[in-house]
Amino acid sequence: MGDSEAVLRVALITLAFFAIHSLPVTDRFKLLATRVIGSRIMRGWYRFSYTALSVLSLIAALWFIIRTPDRHIYSFPYWAGWPMHGLQLLGLAFGYLSYRQLNSGEFTGSAQVRRYLGGEEPSGDMEGLTGGGLIRKGGYRVVRNPLYLAGIMVFAFEPNITRSWLTVSVLSVMYFVWGAWIEQRRMLGRYGMEYRTYMREVPMLIPRPAAMLRWLRQLWG
């Protein structure tokens, strides 16, 4: 398999995963699903089904990408490789600790399923998310999209570059940036002026050095 064919195959697999991951979260899709299955089932099962679909499609995408012939392109020198791996680990830690600020049960949909199976009356928005207001703790004090920043750090700072990794990395970074803009529109619609104030105080994806240092001190303090 030549370079062009391999890159195209990996790119199409990656873009297919992005489409599967993105289309179900659009308001148009959720409104259509609500009309088809009803608001109670939607609030009870949508988020959990979306999480399961995301995980399964990710596994499938990784399987197809791994089976695509690959080749090494470039490795950064030893003295640069370890710091780059350190930045990747920092990104993973940043993402994990930021995720802990979320309601993991509602984020994955398990809480909605428990409420549905327990016979509770559905509550919250179309996804059954009851929410607790705008999150501004932890990593959300550093950037408005800490999970996207974590993903960018993992992909951008890999010191050993292969053809498939480069293809996935470029598309993923573009996807995270695009996702941050879409998220901004959604949050403006939900929180209005409160989110506009948050936008003025906290950057979207590129952290201010002072804010990142404060987060690191809190992490190690």
Asked if 98 contacts 140 with a C-beta cutoff of 8 angstroms, the reply is yes
What does the pLDDT look like over 49-63, one tens digit per residue? 999 999 999 999 999
pLDDT on residue 108? 92
Q: What is the mean pLDDT of residues 200-209?
A: 91
For residue 74, the cross-strand partners are: 161
Total structural domains within the chain: 1
Q: Which residue range forms the structural domain that includes residue 212?
A: 3-220
Asked if 136 contacts 198 with a C-beta cutoff of 8 angstroms, the reply is yes
pTM across the whole model: 0.90
Q: What is the mean pLDDT of residues 113-117?
A: 90
pLDDT on residue 12? 96
pLDDT on residue 221? 61
DSSP code, position 6: H
DSSP 28-94: HHHHHHHHHH-HHHHHHHHHHHHHHHHHHHHHHHHHHHHTS---EEEE--HHHHHHHHHHHHHHHHH
Q: Higher model confidence: residue 80 or residue 189?
A: 80
Residue 130 has pLDDT above 90, yes or no: no
What does the pLDDT look like over 75-95, one tens digit per residue? 999 899 999 999 999 999 999
Q: Which run of H or of E encompasses 174?
A: helix 163-191
